A = this chain, B = another copy of it.
Amino acid sequence: MKSKQIQLDELAQLVQGEPIGQNHLLLDGLASLPQAKAHQIAFVNGDKHIEDAQASQAGALIVTAAMREHLSNHQNFIIVDNPYLAFAILTHVFESKVTQRGIESTAQIDPSALIADDVYIGHYVVIGKNVVIGANTVIQSQTKIDDHVEIGKDCFIDSHVTITGEAKIADRVRIHANTVVGGEGFGFAPYQGKWNRIAQLGSVRIGHDVRIGSNCSIDRGALDDTILENGVIIDNLVQIAHNVRVGENTAIAAKCGIAGSTTIGKNCILAGACGVSGHISITDNVTLTGMSMVTGNILEPGTYSSGMGLLENSKWKRTVVRLRQLADVPLTKLVKQIDHMQAQIESIESTLKLRK
């Protein structure tokens, strides 16, 4: 990768920070504190990293004004209020972007498709009937955009993505490799001992600035649409079933699964591998810790959890034995009984003292 060289003061300007030291110092990359070289810039993500920062070989550091006081080994800084945000902004400067535009000759595009002029469409992409693709969108090689799908402006769709089910995708959406959007929902009517397939007639609607990781499955709706609102971010290997609705700016980590017709509010955070049942509702501002199991509505914002955590195997085995006994142990009744017995004993003791 050819590296880009940028001056310290130019980088400072991009993050609205104050450059200190050699303003014209040329930097060609971001790096972590332990790995950074003299031609790279690193950031200090909180006071607990001050020691690592002192020891770092980075050519310059992104810090708060307060942190700088402790970094006597260094001379070149960008001073900002929020080093993590400044780092996030600068990653875009050093990223290798797909700058190529045009349509590869091997892409198969139905004549009815409407493709904006300045897109990139890679090799062996297949685009169906009446597809619409907006300006500046990049579609990597071997992706499939099925009939009637619409994709907005400035999107990035990586290789081997399948978009079907007449999905409608807004602007600045990023969909990573091998993800399926608009696949058939899992709908079957049981009848006489067999499963009768319900053809799925709804679609998928994806808002602006949505991000979907790799190997995800986002199913089309049965009748109404599956909906991801603006700003939703989703990690890898996530299942979104038919007719789910996910509210604005909700984040869903890897390996979560949301069953059919469930609604998740805005600004929620689902940590990895959570499972959410179908036909329930989760309000706004709910955080689920990893591997949570949600089987009913969540009506109050807050943080929720499940799972017993990790135990050494032999202790776990004993715990499971106790758990299996627990169903038949009336805990709260027992506590009351013990309290009552304690009172009885004390009463007996008093009686005995009196009669002594």
B-contacting residues, A185-206, CB 8 Å = 186-189, 191, 193-201
A345 adjacent to chain B (CB < 8 Å): yes
Residues of chain B contacted by A201 (CB below 8 angstroms)? 29-30, 91, 94-95
| Inter-chain contact B306/A186, CB cutoff 8 Å | no
A351 and B319 CA atoms in complex are apart in Å by: 39
Residues of chain B contacted by A29 (CB below 8 angstroms)? 201
Residues of chain B contacted by A214 (CB below 8 angstroms)? 162, 180, 183, 217, 219
A233 and B89 CA atoms in complex are apart in Å by: 36
Query: Which of A5-13, A18-26, A65-73, A288-296 contacts its partner?
Result: A288-296
A148 adjacent to chain B (CB < 8 Å): yes
Query: Which of A111-119, A131-139, A235-243 contacts its partner?
Result: A235-243
Measured CB to CB, the closest approach of chain B to A270, in angstroms, equals 12
A281 adjacent to chain B (CB < 8 Å): no
Residues of chain B contacted by A209 (CB below 8 angstroms)? 194
A74 adjacent to chain B (CB < 8 Å): no
| Inter-chain contact A213/B186, CB cutoff 8 Å | yes
Interface size (A, Cβ < 8 Å)? Answer: 140
A349 and B324 CA atoms in complex are apart in Å by: 35
A229 adjacent to chain B (CB < 8 Å): no
| Inter-chain contact B337/A334, CB cutoff 8 Å | no
**Known contacts A108-B123, A184-B176, A236-B239, A251 near B313 by CB under 8 Å:** no
Measured CB to CB, the closest approach of chain B to A87, in angstroms, equals 7
Residues of chain B contacted by A315 (CB below 8 angstroms)? 324, 327
Instruction: Select which of B94, B148, B186, B224 is within 8 A of A35 by beta carbon.
Output: B224
**Known contacts A30-B201, A290-B277, A311 near B331 by CB under 8 Å:** no
A160 and B289 CA atoms in complex are apart in Å by: 33
**Known contacts A88-B189, A241-B254, A255-B275, A309 near B306 by CB under 8 Å:** yes
**Known contacts A91-B200, A323-B308, A337-B342, A194 near B249 by CB under 8 Å:** yes
| Inter-chain contact A273/B253, CB cutoff 8 Å | no
List 7 additional A-B contacts (Cβ < 8 Å) besides A32-B223, A160-B180, A174-B197.
Answer: A35-B224, A142-B142, A159-B164, A188-B251, A193-B267, A304-B310, A319-B327
Give A contacts to B, CB under 8 Å.
Answer: 1, 29-32, 34-35, 82, 84-85, 87-89, 91-92, 94-96, 104, 106, 108, 122-124, 126, 140-142, 144, 146-148, 158-160, 162, 164, 166, 174, 176-180, 183-184, 186-189, 191, 193-201, 209, 211, 213-217, 219, 222-224, 231, 233, 235-237, 239, 241, 249, 251, 253-255, 257, 259, 267, 272-273, 275, 277, 288-296, 298, 302-313, 315-320, 322-329, 331-332, 334-335, 337-338, 341-342, 344-345, 348-349, 351-352
List the 8 closest A-B pairs by CB distance, nearest first: A95-B199, A217-B236, A88-B189, A162-B177, A91-B199, A303-B313, A305-B316, A318-B327
